[in-house]
Structure formats: structure tokens, C-alpha cells
Amino acid sequence: MQIIEKMINFIEKINKNIGKAACYLIFVFMFLMVYEVIARYFFQSPTIWVHEMCGYIFAAYIAMTGGWVLLEKGHVSVDIIYQFFPRKVKLTADIIVSIVALFMFIILFWQGYKFAWHAFSTNQHSHTLFGPPLWPVKILLPIGSLVFILQILADFGKTILKAKQRRVK
């Protein structure tokens, strides 16, 4: 049991650190947008790269904070019926939801990896005037999925530990 608890704590620490670090990307995003507005309207010199980079930064922000938001229970949940379930039914529902989510995110990781590898191996670039390589943004999908998978596993472990503690009592 202690090994599982240590793994859960390790995963949660990783997600907390990644999520908190990724939150600062929103400030980079805002700074770049302000820079673009100043360059465009005050100096009549719009950029060709800011909007695309902001899209990439926002993609990183979303991908890297998903596990942290799951850790903090910040995703939208509809618990109108769930709140009336007895503890045993809640634990069963949590296990089922974890398994379904794990399955979905494993597929997302696998397909995202293929997507990113294709972009890397073919040296894919954006079709804009700026034209940056696409693999750095596409690799965010499998990385973000992996972070989410780890948190799903940690939540699943916590649910299993709760279920075992209830049996012991």
C-alpha cells in the first residue's frame, strides 16, 4: 500500500508542478498580444508570427494543465444524481469513470503520438507566411495525454485504496 501511496503522491507532485508552471504561459500569451497591438496600431508594423505563436502557447497551456485541473477536481462534473449515491455506488462509479477515461486518453496518446511523429518525420510546417515547424505543437497532444493518464491512474489508485479501507472497517 505504501508503494501505491508514494506513486500517487509522486504523480500528483508532477502534475501540480507542471500545471503551475504551465499557468505562466498565459502571461506570455498576454504579453505577445499586447506587443502585437502596440506594433500594429502605434508603429504600423504588424507581425506575421504573434497570432500563430499565441495559438501554440495556448495549446501548450491547455495540454499541460489538464492533469493539474483533474487533480484539483476543476473539470466540470454533473453530480446531480451522483451526490445521492451511497458510498459503495460512488466508488464503483468512480472506478468505471476512471477505466473509461483511461481508455480514451490512451487512444488520444497513441493517435497524438502518430500525429506528432508524422509532423516530425515529414518536417511539416505551417502553411502561413511565418511557417514554423508543426511538430513542437503537435507533440503537446501526447505529452498532455500522458500527464492526464498519470493523474487518472493516481485517482484510480486513490479510489481503490478508499474501497480497501472501507472493507477493512
Domain ranges of the chain: 2-168
How many H-runs (helices) and E-runs (strands) does the chain carry? 6, 0
For 30, the 3-state DSSP assignment is: helix
Q: Give ∠ CA 165-147-131 in degrees, rounded to 5.
A: 170
- Give residue 143's pLDDT: 95
44: left (phi over 0), alpha (psi -120 to 50) or beta: left
Give the mean pLDDT of 119-123.
Answer: 96
Q: Answer yes or no: is pLDDT of 165 > 90.
A: no
For 113, the 3-state DSSP assignment is: helix
Highest mean pLDDT (candidates 81-90, 91-100, 159-168): 91-100
The pTM of the full predicted model, rounded to 2 decimals, is 0.85
Tens of pLDDT, residue by residue over 44-58, are 999 999 999 999 999
**pLDDT interval class at 168 (50, 70, 90):** low
